[in-house]
Amino acid sequence: MAQRIDGKALAARYKAKAAAEAAALREKGVQPRLAVVLAGENPASKTYVAGKARDCAECGILSDVIELPEQTGEQELLARVAALNANRAVHGVLVQLPLPAHISTSRVIHAIAPEKDVDGFTPVNVGRMVLGEECFLPCTPAGCLAMLQSTGVPLAGKDAVVIGRSNIVGKPMALLLTAQDVTVTLCHSHTEHLREKCAAADILIAAVGRAGFVTADMVKPGAIVIDVGINRGTDGRLCGDVDFAAANERASFITPVPGGVGLMTRAMLMHNTVKAARLQSAAL
């Protein structure tokens, strides 16, 4: 039976640290503040944004949720982002994805000021991450790395397989692991011999978006399994990409869904927002 990596407890520690830093900034007259732009009616996005606002309140971070209708034009959204970039009272600017289909995600992401890019999605932050320079790390892979580090298992020299190559999870995850001296295989929908590759991995990270995708035979005995997926199972319950019960029998450490990566993603956003406030206030 694997040890559970407790996302709830770890996220609580990160949020408490962010709250303490926010309090210290307030003492100096700086109120950390995050603006979240939500365009459209995506129910999952609404839930995520509500969660972010709750986290902010818990950490002593002011939050503004700017809700825009589905038919909002790209120029209107870009103008909103520009106004938030220019507002010195706002330290973090986050545009909730996915955007309505008629809006270019990349044009909107490019428009966010890098110093306020608390999601770590802008080309400047991504470039800095690739180069190993100081930056805002994208919240989900940063949360996964913190979970791996929380096991106390040395990561250097280990073999990892990351399944999924999205810009927000898989690709940056591979980079962050590489920076920890892990040897990474980044797999995707065209990968051949995926099962064999997974079965040889000391660290297996699943970010596909398909319930039950990772089966027991894909888990090396003693592997650390990080499940990023958020899906609805056939029973309607929230579940990850990993067949938890089966993987639990083989892994050394495993993250649950819910109660795993999702909570750490949210905690990392709080960390990044306080960091943005600290850096911007220091630059004044």
By CB under 6 A, which span of 60-68, 86-94, 159-167, 176-184 interacts with ligand NAD?
159-167
Q: Does 208 bind ligand NAD (CB under 6 A)?
A: yes
Our finding on whether 148 is near ligand NAD (CB under 6 A) is no
Q: Is 187 in the site for ligand NAD (CB under 6 A)?
A: yes
Q: Which of 7, 40, 170, 256 binds ligand NAD (CB under 6 A)?
A: 170
CB of 204 to ligand NAD, least distance (A): 12
Q: Which of 55, 96, 117, 280 is an active site residue?
A: 96
- Please report whether residue 185 would count as binding ligand NAD according to CB under 6 A: no
Q: Which of 130, 188, 258, 281 binds ligand NAD (CB under 6 A)?
A: 188
Alpha-carbon distance of 61 to 54, in angstroms, equals 10
Which residue's entry shows tokens 């199972």? Answer: 233
Q: Is 47 exposed, middle or buried (0-12, 13-18, 19+ CB in 10 A)?
A: exposed
**117 included as an active-site residue:** no
- As a whole number of angstroms, the distance between CA 164 and CA 269 comes to 22
**33/213 with CB nearer ligand NAD:** 213
Residue 17 annotated to the active site: no
Set 117, 119, 241, 243: catalytic member: 119
Q: Residue 91: is it exposed, middle or buried by C-beta count within 10 angstroms (0-12/13-18/19+)? A: buried
Is 42 near ligand NAD (CB under 6 A)? Answer: no
| Six token digits for residue 183 | 């040897």
Round to whole Å and give the CA distance between 17 and 274.
10
Report the nearest approach of ligand NAD to the CB of residue 195 (Å): 10
Q: Cβ closer to ligand NAD: 182 or 228?
A: 228
Among 207, 226, 267, 276, binds ligand NAD (CB under 6 A): 207
* Active-site residue flag, 119: yes
92 or 170: whose CB is closer to ligand NAD? 170
Window of 22-30, 54-62, 104-112, 207-215 that interacts with ligand NAD by CB under 6 A: 207-215
Rg of the chain over Cα atoms, rounded to whole angstroms, equals 19
Active-site residue (options: 15, 52, 158, 275):
52
Active site (catalytic) residues: 52, 96, 119
Q: Which residues bind ligand NAD (CB under 6 A)?
A: 140, 163-166, 168-170, 187-189, 191, 194, 207-209, 228-231, 261-262, 265
